[in-house]
């Protein structure tokens, strides 16, 4: 059974929420790649992560959505190295990074208006592009 993943003091992904599977890698390894299952597939039941608040849990599910399987488990793979143990450590780091990102409260965006200089730059650029396009047109086109 895998070790639990600790993220901070109170947040833990329990070992019971993790499922590890070793499969054959397509990465580095030469002849070894055909014989040894060094790629790691780590599946995580995100509903069982302990110590998250409601907003953090919601952010976690949103961040993990693209990498969830049909059963709703978050799937992480790692085949960076030829070593199964290092790939497992890498996959665990990826889970740790995702949960840590969900724990961070995003800064609120303040609506701002474009500056006078940026509006003037935009108008100047539109004029330059307009002249360039006009110069490309056939002579006498549209005179009728």
Domain extents for the chain? 5-103
Distance between CA atoms of residues 7 and 3, nearest Å: 13
Question: What fold does the segment set 5-103 form as a domain?
Answer: Double Stranded RNA Binding Domain (3.30.160)
Tell me the pLDDT tens digit for each residue of 19-35: 999 888 775 666 776 77
Is the confidence at residue 81, as pLDDT, over 70?
yes
pLDDT tens for 94-127 read 999 999 999 999 899 999 999 999 999 999 999 9
> What value does the CA radius of gyration of the chain take, rounded to a whole number of Å?
26
pTM assigned to the model: 0.71
What is the model's pLDDT at position 96?
92
What percent helix, strand, coil does the chain show, rounded to 5?
45, 15, 35
Alpha carbon of 127 to those of 44, 121, 123, 131: distances in Å?
Answer: 55, 10, 6, 6
Question: Which pLDDT score, from 0 to 100, does residue 100 have?
Answer: 92
């Amino acid at each position: 059974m895998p070790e639990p993943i600790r993220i901070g003091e109170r947040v833990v992904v329990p070992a019971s929420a993790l499922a590890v599977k070793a499969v054959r890698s397509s990465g580095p390894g030469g002849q070894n790649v055909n014989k040894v299952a060094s790629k790691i597939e780590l599946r995580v039941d995100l509903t069982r992560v302990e110590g998250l608040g409601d907003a953090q849990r919601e952010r976690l599910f949103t961040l993990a959505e693209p990498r969830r399987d049909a059963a709703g488990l978050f799937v992480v793979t790692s085949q960076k190295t030829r070593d199964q143990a290092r790939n497992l450590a890498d996959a665990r780091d990826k889970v740790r990074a995702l949960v840590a990102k969900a724990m961070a409260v995003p800064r609120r965006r303040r609506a701002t208006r474009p500056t006078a200089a940026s509006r003037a730059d935009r108008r100047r650029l539109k004029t330059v592009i307009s002249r360039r396009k006009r110069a490309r047109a056939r002579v006498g086109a549209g005179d009728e």
